[in-house]
């Protein structure tokens, strides 16, 4: 990988370790341990304060009521009881499930489909891959602004284009029956390139000989996909199902904040937005934490299910 | 097609097809390539279109911005002029730049130190620490947004550069990728250095860091992009105008000028320029690191 290794040359054969005295060895081990903790300490402190503590805090806070700035009152399971009787929460939960069940397969299939299309060499394929990945590079804020512009009611580009074809465009972001679908399409637009790249890496790891054998055996494209590509892609598929669920469940908040504010008529209030709204719009940090912990529980359950279905995610390459 | 390389399957099957069939296969593969070119080309153009549309529209005048012509009839840079003179846009860019660069540099340094210890040093508790660090990968930013806000508030870091920078430094992602990379370094190099009397810090500086250049470049691109594009944390952690980052800046600009799309798109384009340039230059690095993050 790096030329620097070669210039150093092969290290002299100096395996003197066994010859050292016991005391010296334990001294060395102590030094090594001390060094290791010194190297680790900035990260361990940082990860504890800014990741682990917030994580624990979110569970603890779920049993508290937090008022304005700093006043914590223990309320037992009141936040969870409130959740059960909160139709907005129940609705956002249902909406999130729909969102997951459409987007996770949607991202999976679009990513896999694109990867299969761009895996072989043909003119400009590199440029096309770049174009497909490009929306992933700009911020979600920019994504939200671009689509807000393109989807403007009546005078926006999409409305005008459909108008020319004689179709009256609905209010994509203003009509409760379209808004969530619109958000899903935009999400697929900017994330499919990412999943394409990961699938592409998985495809490139499949040994060529497998395809040669399949072709000599007279397998058609579907049979080849079914018997070679699909089984060999299992580890990649597992990874994508897991990460895309996390991404779909907890991501995209920027778009909801900028594009729809959870509306119209709460039609895009997903759980992640509801948590944000309760905390930062209504100042209900305790209730928000309780809902957030439900979100984490759903994610954990889904990961556990995936692990169970794939026997611990332990896929072994057949080579 | 290679017929008898070392990796070829056992020759229990028919040898090369007769020439007639081969010509047929070649023609078929040409047709397949043309079909792929057309289909992928159309999808790629549709996918890239919204970005191109933002770019060309930001050069259009106010009366033309809603037209369906791709190119402006009279290209103008007035929109950019307006963006930079009506709001402190330079300040927004400066803030984002300082924050993103600082986070990137410090994160690479810290993460590689931890990765070195986890990959190359032997000590009790190493695996436990690694699993603990790794498990924090499951915690994504929006999940801990609320409690993180309370922690940073308690530390008195809201509305400060420190509050924007420090929490962004710590993530397991870089540690994990670097550790995987350091595991592949041959042990002989370090053993030789130890015999020469080098301490662990020297080994880290003289052997590990120089070998990390290429993976650092890939990670730096990812870190910079993630921080430049970050919106939610700055949104909740700052109210001070002087601390506005560019993503917040374009949203508040949009809220004030929501009907003036030529201005809004110019602002959005300026915010996107660094990401697009970096993507153009480091495309290969980005692709590599996305792939590694996916596969390992």
Residue A293 backbone dihedrals phi, psi, to 5 degrees: -70, -30
pLDDT at residue A22 greater than cutoff 90: no
Of A106-115, A255-264, B283-292, the one with minimum mean pLDDT is: B283-292
Range A268-274 average pLDDT:
93
Q: Does the residue B9 lie in any domain?
A: no
Tokens of A82: 């409130």
Q: What is the pLDDT along chain B (296 residues), one digit of tens a residue?
A: 333 333 444 444 444 555 666 666 677 778 888 999 999 999 999 999 999 999 999 999 888 888 888 888 889 999 999 999 999 999 999 999 999 999 999 999 999 999 999 999 989 889 899 888 888 877 777 778 888 998 999 899 999 999 999 999 998 888 988 998 898 888 888 888 888 888 889 999 988 999 898 889 888 988 999 999 999 999 999 999 899 999 999 999 999 988 899 999 999 999 999 999 988 888 877 777 776 665 44
Domain finish residue from B56, B78, B100: B78
Same-domain pairing of B187 and B69: no
Q: Does the residue B6 lie in any domain?
A: no
Q: Which of A239, A272, A299 sits opposite B294 (nearest CB)?
A: A239
Per-residue confidence (pLDDT) for residue A178, from 0 to 100: 93
CB contact under 8 A, B54 and A149: yes
Of A30-44, A296-310, B124-138, the one with minimum mean pLDDT is: A296-310
pLDDT at residue A295 greater than cutoff 80: yes
- pLDDT tens-digit readout, B1-32: 333 333 444 444 444 555 666 666 677 778 88
Residue A67 backbone dihedrals phi, psi, to 5 degrees: -105, 135
CATH class of the A78-309 domain in this structure: mainly alpha
A-to-B residue pairs, Cβ atoms closer than 8 angstroms: 297
pLDDT at residue A15 greater than cutoff 60: no
List, as ranges, residues 91-120 from B with C-beta within 8 Å of A.
110-111, 113-114, 116-118
Burial category of B70 from C-beta neighbours within 10 Å (exposed 0-12, middle 13-18, buried 19 and up): exposed
Same-domain pairing of B139 and B226: yes
Per-residue confidence (pLDDT) for residue B103, from 0 to 100: 97
Per-residue confidence (pLDDT) for residue B185, from 0 to 100: 84
Q: Closest chain B residue to A52 measured between Cα atoms?
A: B136
Residues of A in Cβ contact (< 8 Å) with B186:
5, 11
CB contact under 8 A, A131 and B47: yes
Q: What average pLDDT does the structure give for chain A?
A: 85
Contact with chain A for residue B11, Cβ under 8 A: no
pLDDT at residue A95 greater than cutoff 90: yes
Same-domain pairing of B149 and B261: yes
- pLDDT tens-digit readout, A185-221: 999 999 999 999 989 988 988 888 889 889 888 888 8
Confidence of residue A314 (pLDDT cuts 50, 70, 90): low
- pLDDT tens-digit readout, B231-278: 999 999 999 989 999 999 999 999 998 889 999 999 999 999 999 998
Same-domain pairing of B138 and B218: yes
Tokens of B78: 């007035």
Per-residue confidence (pLDDT) for residue B162, from 0 to 100: 96
3-state secondary structure chain A: CCHHHHHHCCCCCCCCHHHCCHHHHHHHHHHHHHHHHHHHHHHHHHHHHHHHHHHHHHHHHCCEEEECCCEEEECCCHHHHHHHCCHHHHHHHHHHHHHHHHHHHHHHHHHHHHHHHHCCCCCCHHHHHHHHHHHHCCCHHHHHHHHHHHCCCCCCHHHHHHHHCCCCCCCCCCCHHHHHHHHHHHHHHHHHHHHHHHHHHHHHCCCHHHHHHHHHCCCCHHHHHHHHHHHHCHHHHHHHHHHHHHHHHHCCHHHHHHHHCCCCCCCCCCHHHHHHHHHHHCCCHHHHHHHHHHHHHHHHHHHHHHHHHCCCCCCCCCC
Contact with chain B for residue A217, Cβ under 8 A: yes
Contact with chain A for residue B58, Cβ under 8 A: no
Per-residue confidence (pLDDT) for residue A312, from 0 to 100: 54
Q: Does the residue B12 lie in any domain?
A: no
pLDDT at residue A264 greater than cutoff 60: yes
pLDDT at residue A2 greater than cutoff 50: no
Per-residue confidence (pLDDT) for residue B136, from 0 to 100: 82
CB contact under 8 A, B142 and A250: yes
pLDDT at residue A11 greater than cutoff 80: no
Same-domain pairing of B152 and B275: yes
Of A4-18, A86-100, A190-204, the one with minimum mean pLDDT is: A4-18
Burial category of A170 from C-beta neighbours within 10 Å (exposed 0-12, middle 13-18, buried 19 and up): middle
Q: Closest chain B residue to A56 measured between Cα atoms?
A: B147
Assign residue B151 the CATH number of its domain. 1.10.3720.10
- Domains of chain A, by residue range, sit at 19-56, 78-309
Contact with chain B for residue A124, Cβ under 8 A: yes
pLDDT at residue A311 greater than cutoff 70: no
Q: Which of B123, B142, B147 sits opposite A253 (nearest CB)?
A: B142
Range A233-262 average pLDDT:
87
Of A104-113, A232-241, B152-161, B164-173, the one with minimum mean pLDDT is: A232-241
Contact with chain B for residue A122, Cβ under 8 A: yes
List, as ranges, residues 72-111 from A with C-beta within 8 Å of B.
none
Residues of A in Cβ contact (< 8 Å) with B213:
2
List, as ranges, residues 20-79 from A with C-beta within 8 Å of B.
29, 31-33, 35-37, 39-40, 42-44, 46-47, 49-55, 57-58, 61, 66, 69
Residues of B in Cβ contact (< 8 Å) with A119:
none
Query: What total number of domains does chain B contain?
Result: 2
Same-domain pairing of B35 and B113: no
d(CA B114, CA B109): 9
d(CA A296, CA A54): 13
Per-residue confidence (pLDDT) for residue B22, from 0 to 100: 66
Range A75-84 average pLDDT:
91
Q: Closest chain A residue to B187 measured between Cα atoms?
A: A11
Test the A interface: residue of B50, B214, B270 with most A CBs within 10 Å: B50
Q: Does the residue B167 lie in any domain?
A: yes
Residues of A in Cβ contact (< 8 Å) with B48:
131-132, 134-135
List, as ranges, residues 187-216 from A with C-beta within 8 Å of B.
189, 192-194, 197-198, 200-202, 205, 207-209, 212-213, 216
Same-domain pairing of B143 and B229: yes
pLDDT at residue A136 greater than cutoff 80: yes
Does residue B166 contact residue B157 with C-beta atoms inside 8 Å? yes
Test the A interface: residue of B44, B254, B288 with most A CBs within 10 Å: B44
Same-domain pairing of B54 and B100: no
Q: Does the residue B8 lie in any domain?
A: no
Q: Does the residue B154 lie in any domain?
A: yes
Q: Does the residue B2 lie in any domain?
A: no
CB contact under 8 A, A130 and B283: yes
Same-domain pairing of B73 and B26: yes
Q: Does the residue B203 lie in any domain?
A: yes
- Omega into B277 within 30° of 0, i.e. cis? no
Smallest Cα distance from A131 to chain B, Å: 5
Same-domain pairing of B55 and B126: no
Q: Residue B241 is part of which domain span? A: 88-295
Smallest Cα distance from A273 to chain B, Å: 9
Smallest Cα distance from A85 to chain B, Å: 22
Test the B interface: residue of A63, A145, A152, A208 with most B CBs within 10 Å: A145
Cα A45 to Cα A38, A39, A239, B8, B110: the distances in Å are: 11, 11, 29, 53, 11
Residues of B in Cβ contact (< 8 Å) with A33:
121, 123-124
Which of A244, A209, A211 has the alpha carbon at shortest distance from A230?
A: A211
Same-domain pairing of B66 and B203: no
Smallest Cα distance from A285 to chain B, Å: 7
Same-domain pairing of B31 and B112: no
Per-residue confidence (pLDDT) for residue B90, from 0 to 100: 95
């Amino acid at each position: 990988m790096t030329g620097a290794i070669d210039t150093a040359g092969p290290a002299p054969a100096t395996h003197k370790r066994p010859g050292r005295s016991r005391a010296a060895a334990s001294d060395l081990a102590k030094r090594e341990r001390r060094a290791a903790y010194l190297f680790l300490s900035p990260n361990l402190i940082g990860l504890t304060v800014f990741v682990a503590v917030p994580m624990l805090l979110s569970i603890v806070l779920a049993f508290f009521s937090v008022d304005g700035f700093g006043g914590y009152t223990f309320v037992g399971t009141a936040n969870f009881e409130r959740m059960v009787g909160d139709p907005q929460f129940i609705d956002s939960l249902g909406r999130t499930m729909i969102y997951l069940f459409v987007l996770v397969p949607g991202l999976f299939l679009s990513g896999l489909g694109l990867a299969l299309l761009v895996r072989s060499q043909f003119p400009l394929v590199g440029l096309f891959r770049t174009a497909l990945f490009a929306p992933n590079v700009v911020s979600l804020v920019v994504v939200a602004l671009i689509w807000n512009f393109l989807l403007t009611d009546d005078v926006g580009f999409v409305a005008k284009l459909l108008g020319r074809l004689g179709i009256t465009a609905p209010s994509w972001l203003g009509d409760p029956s379209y808004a969530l679908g619109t958000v899903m399409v935009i999400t697929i637009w900017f994330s499919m390139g990412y999943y394409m790249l990961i699938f592409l890496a998985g495809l490139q790891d499949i040994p060529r000989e497998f395809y040669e054998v399949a072709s000599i055996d007279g397998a058609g494209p579907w049979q080849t996909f079914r018997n070679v590509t699909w089984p060999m892609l299992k580890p990649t598929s597992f990874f994508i199902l897991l990460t895309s669920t996390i991404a779909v469940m907890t991501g995209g908040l920027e778009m909801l904040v900028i594009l729809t504010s959870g509306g119209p008529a709460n039609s895009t209030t997903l759980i992640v937005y509801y948590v944000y709204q309760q905390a930062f719009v209504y100042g209900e940090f305790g209730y928000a934490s309780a809902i957030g912990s439900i979100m984490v529980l759903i994610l954990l359950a889904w990961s556990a299910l995936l692990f169970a279905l794939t026997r611990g995610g332990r896929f072994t390459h057949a080579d | 097609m290679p017929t008898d390389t070392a990796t070829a399957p056992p020759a229990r099957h028919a040898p090369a097809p007769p020439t007639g069939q081969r010509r047929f296969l070649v023609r078929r593969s040409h047709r397949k390539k043309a079909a792929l070119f057309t289909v992928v080309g159309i999808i790629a153009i549709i996918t890239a279109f919204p970005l191109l549309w933002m770019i060309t529209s930001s050069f259009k005048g106010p009366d033309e911005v809603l037209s369906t012509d791709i190119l402006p009839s009279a290209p103008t840079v007035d929109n950019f002029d307006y963006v930079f003179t009506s709001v402190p846009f330079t300040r927004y860019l400066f803030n984002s730049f300082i924050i993103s660069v600082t986070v990137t540099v410090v994160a690479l340094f810290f993460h590689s130190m931890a990765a070195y210890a986890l990959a190359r040093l032997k000590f009790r508790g190493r695996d436990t620490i690694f699993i603990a660090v790794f498990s924090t990968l499951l915690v994504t930013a929006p999940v801990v947004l609320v409690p993180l806000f309370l922690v940073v508030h308690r530390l008195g870091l809201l509305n400060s550069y420190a509050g924007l920078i420090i929490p962004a430094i710590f993530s397991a992602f870089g540690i994990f990728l670097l550790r995987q990379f350091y595991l592949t370094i041959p042990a002989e190099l370090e053993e030789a250095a130890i015999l020469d009397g080098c301490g662990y810090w020297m080994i880290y500086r003289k052997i590990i860091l120089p070998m990390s250049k290429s993976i650092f470049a890939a990670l730096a691109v990812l870190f910079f992009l993630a921080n430049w594009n970050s919106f939610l944390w700055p949104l909740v952690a700052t109210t001070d105008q002087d601390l506005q980052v560019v993503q917040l800046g374009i949203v508040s600009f949009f809220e004030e000028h929501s009907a003036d799309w030529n201005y809004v798109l110019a602002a959005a384009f300026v915010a996107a320029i660094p990401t697009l340039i970096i993507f153009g230059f480091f495309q290969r690095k980005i692709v590599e690191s996305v792939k590694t993050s996916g596969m390992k």
